[in-house]
Amino acid sequence: MNHKTKIVLIYLATAVFCAGIIKTAFWVRDGLSDRAKPYVTNVGAEKVAVFFPISQDFSAKNQKGDEVQLSSLKGKVWVVCEFFAVCPQCAMRNGAELRQLIETFGSDPDFQLVCVSIDPMEDSVEKIAEYASLLNADAKNWWFLTNGDTASTHKFMEKSMKFFTPKLRTDPADIESNGKYQHDLGLALVNSNYEVVGKWPLAESRDLSPARYEEVKQNMYQRIRQELDRKPWVSYHHKN
């Protein structure tokens, strides 16, 4: 092999290597792009996407002290989220987004809101009853739930509902300002077949821009209406 041939081969190998790097970069970029896409896409299409069925049940006490099971909500359309009583982000979200969801859909007997405490050792029935009272939350269509067992609650929300794992904060100033847990503030929608069909990051969108927040909110509302209207006996008109 002469010197010229060696140089040509080196250039060819370099070109192939660079092409591989470029291809990998595009693959990584596309992967990141997919993860950045909205939680729900193609709303209104003939085939409605189902993220996953809920494989387990969850038992807890609501703000009235009644023992309830999430499986009892089969046949209803419900929005579920995490909270704990001293979380300031939850207070803002629950007093705004969740209150408005009840005002918009609460007159439908087939709609329910469910807030699951991720700090059930601290959030007693008495504490969540006080919390619910401040929001004027009626247990007939808005549950605040606590089961007294942190490990089983976190496992259910992570494994069965696919929420992010709650993380204990360690910085005292951060705990003082934001509470002991960093957790998922998303709102998940469950259809009448006990299947999760969407999840929306309203709290995060509020921090980005008013336009983005409104887009995500309307996307969620449209999907809720879609699921409620899928039930043939719904005859009333939802509020705008």
- Give the confidence band of 106 by pLDDT, cuts at 50, 70, 90: very high
Considering the chain, what percentage of its residues have pLDDT values greater than 70?
Answer: 75
- Give the confidence band of 206 by pLDDT, cuts at 50, 70, 90: confident
- Confirm if 202 and 216 have CB atoms less than 8 A apart: yes
- Confirm if 180 and 169 have CB atoms less than 8 A apart: yes
In this prediction, residue 230 carries a pLDDT of: 86
Q: Is the pLDDT of residue 37 over 80?
A: no
Return all residues near 122 (Cβ < 8 A) that are at least 6 apart.
Answer: 84, 85, 86
What is the chain's mean pLDDT, rounded?
81
Predicted confidence (pLDDT) per residue in 58-97, tens digit: 999 999 999 999 999 999 999 999 999 999 888 888 888 9
**What is the C-alpha to C-alpha distance for residues 76 and 203, in angstroms, rounded to an integer?**
25
Q: Is the pLDDT of residue 235 over 50?
A: no
